[in-house]
Chain A
């Protein structure tokens, strides 16, 4: 009781401090500093019709590389902790003898799967034109994989293939970035491809290849995490 009062007071103090800080600054006016610059100049400078994408991949593209690395570290950490050798996996599968979903769900999921993947690819490819992009599209693709696993827990996706696509996508991002060092701008992630006409799919220079790399990476990483988690779950729901 005393503890919960203490926690509420503490939380209240934090909220009060944040609010008192925020009231001193006007909200939504043109005092956003760099934000206003991005709104005014993005289309001209990057050729992307989606300002958010231009900010995440061009102006703050280095942060996106970092976020991608965070996801990579998390996925690698999960597979490090939940790792099972192939024999252990087979043994586990025999012991578990999981009940499959019924026929309609299994076949239905296989029919829907290509469409989910297609939708994911659409979101990734149009990241610089419409809301969406690599992270979102990759998550959609991984949700398709999750659906397959839910319908039939015994399927195996090629873990090694996922590792290769994951690594290749990451390398692509870093190499596109490093290529920028060799351009006249001499800086990491400089946009060295032609900007094209805003609104077309082949526009915005390096933004499209970067988002494809992000999409492939996010898709394969989430699929890998799903595979790792499914292969370690016991039949009674508990984990080892």
Chain B
């Protein structure tokens, strides 16, 4: 019997539907808009079949391709962390696919849906692959799909943002490729677990050269501070559904890849403290720049940079609690930021303007969207009773646990940046709920509300069980720390 829980289906299904969309675009365009939804529903079923094994069972699912055992062939290795990223990508994929059906009105939509399927499928691919070169390929698929989607609107902004992203994205891919090639020269293998085993004999400096290339490549994609010039242009220029995916989970998937490479492959704990050099300015400049934005989507994009910095900073602290809290923050940021982008998209569809001031009174005119905007903003800013509070307080607590000269400054920084974040979100909320007496036909789009409400309910659900979610993310962190288990599971081939 076939293993329907095989993680390879998570990748095959989006590719299948993307190719199928191309065929249908030639003679029956109407059907194409449902293809992304179909692809991610298949993925949701595969993930549900795996959930028991991941949470209660072995905690890792291995799948090989071409019938050969790793390291001879490419393998998929889905452990708890991969499962988390893949699940977030799939949930957002399903809901944003529904959103796009009501949002995208363009005769080129069949091509849009192909690329969108590849974008979310590529993020899932990044999270489940167990092969380093395959990771590079997955990054290429994701970012090349993203270039096209960022340029979708074809106006001046979109063209500039798309081109900027194209240049930096290709540079990132090349840096990643050089790093992978150097590692292959040194170890003669591309399998992550096999490299992890062979690299243990390397000295600090032998690790440093390939690591630097791979890290810089991933840091561009993950928008860490000096390398993030593309993000504030690219994320707002894309259609709102795509912005939700780019901000919600694509940057996170690059952070995932950095964590996977640093911990599982390189076992490179000596380099982790230096990550603060990237994380602190990313957090600071992201949040402060967001404060000064007048364009609502640009503000959310800068906020993504800030949140990425916070996630990375929490990971950098390194204790199990801190890493767990950083994954909890990933959950919070992905769900709430994606929801905010979807709501802002619904506003923009009515007002045709990205200016914050144009949102005046929208909270009264579009009551449901406005209410969910408040929900997302409060959770993102880390206010109780939402999940953002639980994840942020856990980050702060883990900092307090590891208090020293440097981490005191983190404490100050995180609290200060939370205040900045709260300030700019409250400013938007105040504008949303300023009464204006103007008679124009602004109304809710019921189709868009479906995904917004569903995403809001997922966020509320997570907020209702903060302790359970945090304990799950802590179990992810503890599994991540025992890399011998990962290596054993992949190369031993015993666990399935």
Contact = CB atoms under 8 A, between A and B. Distances in A.
A76 B115 contact: yes
A62 to B, nearest CB: 4
A166 B151 contact: no
B151 A33 contact: no
Given A33-B187, A170-B19, A60 B209 contact: no
B68 to A, nearest CB: 6
Contacts of B3: 181, 186
A186 B2 contact: yes
A77 B18 contact: no
Main secondary structure of the interface of A (DSSP, over half): helix
B209 A66 contact: no
Interface stretch (B133-141, B226-234, B348-356, B431-439): B133-141
Contacts of B189: 33-34
B482 interface: no
A164 B27 CA distance: 9
Nearest to A37: B72
A63 interface: yes
Nearest to A186: B3
B45 to A, nearest CB: 15
Nearest to B125: A66
Main secondary structure of the interface of B (DSSP, over half): helix
A160 B107 CA distance: 15
B446 interface: no
Contacts of A77: 115, 144-145, 147-149, 151
Given A33-B189, A72-B19, A190 B67 contact: yes
Contacts of B20: 167, 171
A21 B148 contact: no
Contacts of B57: none
Task: Identify the interface centre among B15, B65, B133, B148: most chain A CB within 10 Å of its CB.
Answer: B65
Contact of A20 (B137, B152, B209): B209
A21 B67 contact: no
B148 A81 contact: yes
A181 B149 CA distance: 33
Nearest to A165: B23
Interface string B121-160: 0000100000101100110110011011101101000000
B73 interface: yes
A161 to B, nearest CB: 8
Interface in A49-87: 58-63, 65-67, 69-70, 72-74, 76-81, 83, 85
Interface in B14-38: 15-16, 18-27
Task: Identify the interface centre among A32, A181, A188: most chain B CB within 10 Å of its CB.
Answer: A188
Contacts of A85: 107
Nearest to B198: A33
A34 B115 contact: no
Contacts of A22: 182, 185
18 contacts: A17-B212, A24-B186, A32-B188, A33-B194, A59-B66, A59-B68, A62-B8, A63-B133, A80-B148, A83-B111, A163-B22, A164-B22, A174-B15, A178-B16, A185-B67, A187-B64, A188-B8, A190-B65
Interface of B: 2-3, 6, 8-9, 12, 15-16, 18-27, 63-68, 71-74, 107-108, 111-112, 114-115, 118, 125, 131, 133-134, 137-138, 140-141, 144-145, 147-149, 151-152, 154, 162, 178, 182, 185-190, 194, 198, 206, 209-210, 212
Please provide the 3 A-B residue pairs with the shortest distance between their CB atoms, ordered closest to farther: A33-B188, A77-B148, A170-B19
Interface of A: 17-18, 20-22, 24-25, 27, 31-38, 58-63, 65-67, 69-70, 72-74, 76-81, 83, 85, 160-161, 163-164, 166-168, 170-171, 174-175, 177-178, 180-183, 185-191
